[in-house]
Amino acid sequence: MRQHKLALCREHYLQWVPEQTERFIIKYQMFTKGEKILVAVSGGKDSLSLWDILVRLGYQADGLYLGLGIDGGIDYSHESQRLSEKFADEHNLKLHVVDIEKEYGQSIPMLAESSHRGYGKPCAVCGLAKRHEMNRIARDLGYDVLATGHNLDDEAAVLFGNTLNWSSEYLLRQGPVLPEAEGLARKVKPLCRFYEREMTAYALLSGIEYIYEECPFAEGSQSIFYKETLNQLETTRPGVKLTFYLRFLEARKSGELFIEKNVRLGDLHPCPKCGQPTSTSDLCTFCRMIEKANIEAE
């Protein structure tokens, strides 16, 4: 690991990753051993590794898999669900499975079709639905906190995009912990300081079986382009991704970010249908999307 000037054997690497994770959990005050954690698992290396690490560290962590109904020629959703269930069975863990189509009558590709009338990719619709459902389920089932497997490459790419656009509102909300608020569960990203390669190494060395394929719709996406750009920088300047992210967190904490002074977060009120906070005047964006898709399907 050039960025840490550190080289470890398998045995010590498998100790190092959970030790570091524990450090981050404590440093950012993510959760305690007495709290109930819901880990959002996609069947990929990051979220399954996160679940593995939290359980090894002695946290009470159940899983949540959201069935999105994405095939993309590789049976993506079925395969990722199978691997999530396999992991849960082998480790004797509890996994909640919620299928978007069963819940709302429409899969993600179907919702995308009606939102964009066949144009564009389903990723925006998918992100909206995942955020809404993760929040709803974590609160309905009484979990204290929702954990996702976002790694440093994910976070640095989002930060890069938000910085290029000076998206103040998004910059203010990005971080390892999003505190609980009216209608919103606390959200945490315990792997946010690990490079993607480090998580791949952890999953492989611990023998976790995960889905290698990315979501078939991710190809050509902006976030992949940002990740590639940052990887090029990282080749010549090892550690640049980590510094970019950590200095941002420091600057925000100390109030050095000039944007902070001018930004007012929009007034939020509960959606009349689902109760989650929204800034729109009527139904939240998710409920409006479902309503529109169901009307079109009739």
| Rounded alpha-carbon distances, angstroms, from residue 151 to 85, 88, 191, 196, 282 | 22, 21, 5, 6, 35
- Binding flag, residue 114, ligand AMP (CB under 6 A): no
Each as own residue / partner, the long-range contacts of residues 134-139 (CB below 8 Å, 24 or more positions apart, any chain) are 134/38, 134/40, 134/64, 134/66, 134/185, 134/187, 135/184, 135/185, 135/187, 135/276, 136/274, 136/276, 137/38, 137/64, 137/96, 137/98, 138/38, 138/64, 138/185, 139/183, 139/185
Between residues 78 and 130, which has the closer beta carbon with respect to ligand AMP? 130
Residues numbered 100 to 139 that lie near ligand FES (CB under 6 A) are 108, 122-123, 126
* Chosen from ligand AMP, ligand FES, Zn ion, none, partner binding at 46 (C-beta under 5 to 8 Å by type): ligand AMP
* Chosen from ligand AMP, ligand FES, Zn ion, none, partner binding at 148 (C-beta under 5 to 8 Å by type): ligand AMP
- Binding flag, residue 67, ligand FES (CB under 6 A): no
CB half-sphere exposure, 62, CA atoms < 13 A: 16
* Chosen from ligand AMP, ligand FES, Zn ion, none, partner binding at 149 (C-beta under 5 to 8 Å by type): ligand AMP
* Chosen from ligand AMP, ligand FES, Zn ion, none, partner binding at 65 (C-beta under 5 to 8 Å by type): ligand AMP
Distance in Å, CB of 126 to ligand FES, minimum? 3
| Rounded distance between C-alpha atoms, residue 297 and residue 150, angstroms | 34
Site residues, Zn ion (CB under 5 A): 271, 273-274, 284, 287
Binding mask 198-237 for ligand FES (x = CB under 6 A): -----------------x-xx-------------------
| Rounded alpha-carbon distances, angstroms, from residue 162 to 39, 171, 272 | 26, 6, 30
Between residues 150 and 186, which has the closer beta carbon with respect to ligand AMP? 150
Phi, psi of 158 (to 5 degrees): -65, -45
Binding mask 130-169 for ligand AMP (x = CB under 6 A): x-----------------xxx---x---------------
Could you identify the residue written with the tokens 């929040």? 135
Torsion of CA 105, 81, 70, 227, to 10 degrees: 130
Between residues 188 and 215, which has the closer beta carbon with respect to ligand FES? 215
What does the binding site for ligand FES look like in residue numbers (CB under 6 A)? 68, 108, 122-123, 126, 215, 217-218
